[in-house]
């Protein structure tokens, strides 16, 4: 009897013509996630089986697999020789410490196995009842616990009780690369994660206002990128010095347009970086109506300076929904560390909430946009996370 972990993928993406491409990507990511653990990965048609790992690595392996986009469920279990008594002993072992309403479900891929599915289920169910008197009651409809037996064609049988929900989605890289505008806040890391789930590899772009914002604020973003990079299978982080642009806006434009102007510069620079490095989309953590800069008018203004698609996966999220995901993916604790964002520098008392396009253009005409962008592009720091 060996401990194993079954990895299942979503059947939908296995149906199309892209099946082999998807599976190849997924397999690479699984191997990468498991590269630090000694193990064997067996590929079968619809799933993967991880075996021969060290007992002490079990938790670490499950945690690593939960960060692989494209894996839908995981089942820790056992692999035994396909022999009735061995299967039964294994099932009894797997049910140790449990109690309640249960049933046994057998799937027999090996048609040469001496018992039919129903016969084996009845035999193993009976053995479990005798092994733990009083602990279990058989319940065929809606049981609390299902013991699954999977008799495979290679002479081995898998026994498991648990099905753990994993990340879901489709494999990283199958939807190209997106440039995530990454602040130190709660929203943008979650937005990045959501796009990873849909197969998009991430690059991060952070706008930093040194010396108004300090080294700690930058380190925080590097840390967030580090957490995201586990979902994204690595990630490049571009740190853009935004101070001169902000000072120019502050000096020349009407105060209430500060944020509107900043957003337009951020979008343009992000798009240019994306175009230089294979990016196909911009990703932001915006949510409609959350703050003044996220009204439909503000979004129209910042959106109009780029032609690349802008993905805003949180657009219809309530903050609490976002926080829940941030906690689940492990970015929340870092995001709530106190820090200054470049957007909080020169923050106007009364920012325009619904900027009119003609006014925006009039304000922007006071600046040498191209020169400011070029200068910022020359001073970019790149960190491989
Ligand atoms: P977040 O929690 O992601 O900071 P937020 O609710 O604070 O979002 P804003 O500050 O209005 O919202 O920012 C909206 C979006 O603009 C962010 O989600 C992020 O994608 C982008 N953004 C804001 N500040 C920066 C920055 N300093 N560097 C890069 N992107 C930024
Ligand atoms: Mg923010």
Which residue did the predictor score with more confidence, 16 or 12?
16
Q: If you take atom 4 of ligand 1, which residue's CA is the nearest one? A: 185
Mutate to test the pocket of ligand 1, among 185, 284, 294 (most ligand atoms within 8 A of CB): 185
User: How would you label 125-163 residue by residue, b for 16+ Cβ within 10 Å and e otherwise?
Assistant: bebbeebeeeebeeeeeebebebbbbbbeeebbbbbbee
Share of the chain above pLDDT 90, in %: 89
Model confidence pLDDT, tens digit, residues 135-154 = 999 999 999 999 999 999 99
- Check: CB of residue 145 under 8 Å from CB of residue 117: no
Domain 177-384: CATH class, spelled out: alpha beta
**Could you check whether the bond before residue 211 is cis, i.e. omega within 30 degrees of 0?**
yes
Q: Scan for tokens 């964002």, then name that residue.
A: 341
Distance of CA 256 to the CA centre of its chain: 36
| Per-chain mean pLDDT for the chain | 95
The verdict on domain 2-165 having CATH code 3.30.2130.30 is yes
Q: From CA 222, how far away is CA 228, in angstroms rounded?
A: 10
Ligand showing the shortest atom-to-Cα distance for residue 221: 1
The pLDDT score that the predictor gives to residue 157 is: 97
Alpha helices (H) along the chain: 19-33, 58-65, 84-94, 117-131, 187-197, 215-232, 243-252, 258-276, 296-303, 319-329, 332-335, 357-364, 369-378
Helix axes 369-378, 258-276, angle to 10 degrees: 50
User: Furthest-apart CA pair in the chain: how many Å?
Assistant: 85
Ligand 1, pocket residues at CB < 6 Å? 181-183, 185-188, 205-207, 266, 284-286, 290-291, 293-294, 341-343
Q: Is the pLDDT reported for residue 373 higher than 70?
A: yes
Residue 212's pLDDT band, with cuts at 50, 70 and 90, is confident
Ligand showing the shortest atom-to-Cα distance for residue 182: 1
Model confidence pLDDT, tens digit, residues 276-317 = 999 999 999 999 988 878 999 999 999 999 999 999 999 999
Please give the number of the atom of ligand 1 that sits closest to the Cα of 293: 11
Ligand showing the shortest atom-to-Cα distance for residue 183: 1
Please give the number of the atom of ligand 1 that sits closest to the Cα of 341: 27
- What distance in angstroms lies between residue 303's CA and the mean position of ligand 2's atoms? 18
Q: From CA 313, how far away is CA 283, in angstroms rounded?
A: 8
Q: Is the pLDDT reported for residue 59 higher than 80?
A: yes
> Computed from CA positions of residues 188, 347, 267, 374, in that sequence, does the dihedral angle turn out positive or negative?
negative
The pLDDT score that the predictor gives to residue 195 is: 98
Model confidence pLDDT, tens digit, residues 213-255 = 888 999 999 999 999 999 999 999 999 999 999 999 999 999 9
Mean pLDDT within 146-171: 96
Q: Is the pLDDT reported for residue 178 higher than 80?
A: yes
| Token pair for 124 | 């193993």
Ligand showing the shortest atom-to-Cα distance for residue 204: 1
- What distance in angstroms lies between residue 296's CA and the mean position of ligand 1's atoms? 16
Q: If you take atom 26 of ligand 1, which residue's CA is the nearest one? A: 183
> Could you state, in order of their start, the residue ranges of all structural domains in the chain?
2-165, 177-384
Q: Is the pLDDT reported for residue 12 higher than 70?
A: no
Residue 21's pLDDT band, with cuts at 50, 70 and 90, is confident
Please give the number of the atom of ligand 1 that sits closest to the Cα of 190: 3
Q: From CA 233, how far away is CA 289, in angstroms rounded?
A: 32
Q: If you take atom 17 of ligand 1, which residue's CA is the nearest one? A: 285
Give Cβ neighbours of residue 182 (< 8 Å, ≥ 6 apart).
188, 189, 192, 204, 205, 206, 221, 224, 225, 228, 237
Q: From CA 370, how far away is CA 154, in angstroms rounded?
A: 65
Q: Is the pLDDT reported for residue 10 higher than 90?
A: no
Mutate to test the pocket of ligand 1, among 285, 321, 353 (most ligand atoms within 8 A of CB): 285
Please give the number of the atom of ligand 1 that sits closest to the Cα of 284: 20
Q: From CA 160, how far away is CA 73, in angstroms rounded?
A: 13
- Check: CB of residue 1 under 8 Å from CB of residue 93: yes
- What distance in angstroms lies between residue 276's CA and the mean position of ligand 2's atoms? 26
Mean pLDDT within 114-136: 97
């Amino acid at each position: 009897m060996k401990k194993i972990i079954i990895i299942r993928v979503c059947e939908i993406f296995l149906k199309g013509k892209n099946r082999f491409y998807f599976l190849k990507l997924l397999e690479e990511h699984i191997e990468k996630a498991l590269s630090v653990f000694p193990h064997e990965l067996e590929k079968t048609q619809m799933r993967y089986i991880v075996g021969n790992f060290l007992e002490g690595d079990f938790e670490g392996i499950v945690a690593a697999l939960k960060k692989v986009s494209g894996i839908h469920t995981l089942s820790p279990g056992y692999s035994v020789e396909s022999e009735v008594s061995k299967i039964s002993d294994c099932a009894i072992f797997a049910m140790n410490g449990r109690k309640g309403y249960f049933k046994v479900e057998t799937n027999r891929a090996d048609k040469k196995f001496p018992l039919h599915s129903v016969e084996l289920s009845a035999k193993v169910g009976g053995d479990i009842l005798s092994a733990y008197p009083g602990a279990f009651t058989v319940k065929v409809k809606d049981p609390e616990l299902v013991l699954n037996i999977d008799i495979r064609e290679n002479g081995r049988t898998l026994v498991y009780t648990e099905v753990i929900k994993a990340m879901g989605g489709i494999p990283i890289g199958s939807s190209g690369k997106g440039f995530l505008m990454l602040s130190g806040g709660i929203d943008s890391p979650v937005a990045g994660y959501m796009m990873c789930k849909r197969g998009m590899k991430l690059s991060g772009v952070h706008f930093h206002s040194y010396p108004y914002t300090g080294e700690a604020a930058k380190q925080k973003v590097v840390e967030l990128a580090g957490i995201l990079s586990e979902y994204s299978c690595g990630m490049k982080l571009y740190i853009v010095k935004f101070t001169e642009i902000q000072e120019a806006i502050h000096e020349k434009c009407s105060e209430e347009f500060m944020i509107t102007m900043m957003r337009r510069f951020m979008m343009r620079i992000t798009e240019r970086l994306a175009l230089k490095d294979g990016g196909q989309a911009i990703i932001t953590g915006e949510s409609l109506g959350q703050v003044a800069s996220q009204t439909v008018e503000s979004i129209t203004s910042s959106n109009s300076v780029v032609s690349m698609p802008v993905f805003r996966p949180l657009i219809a999220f309530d903050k609490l929904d976002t926080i829940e995901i941030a906690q689940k993916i492990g970015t929340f604790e870092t995001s709530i560390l106190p820090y200054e964002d470049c957007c909080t520098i020169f923050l106007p008392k009364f920012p325009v909430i619904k900027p009119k396009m003609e006014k925006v253009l009039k304000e922007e005409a006071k600046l040498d946009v191209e020169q400011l962008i070029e200068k910022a592009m020359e001073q970019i720091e790149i960190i491989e996370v």
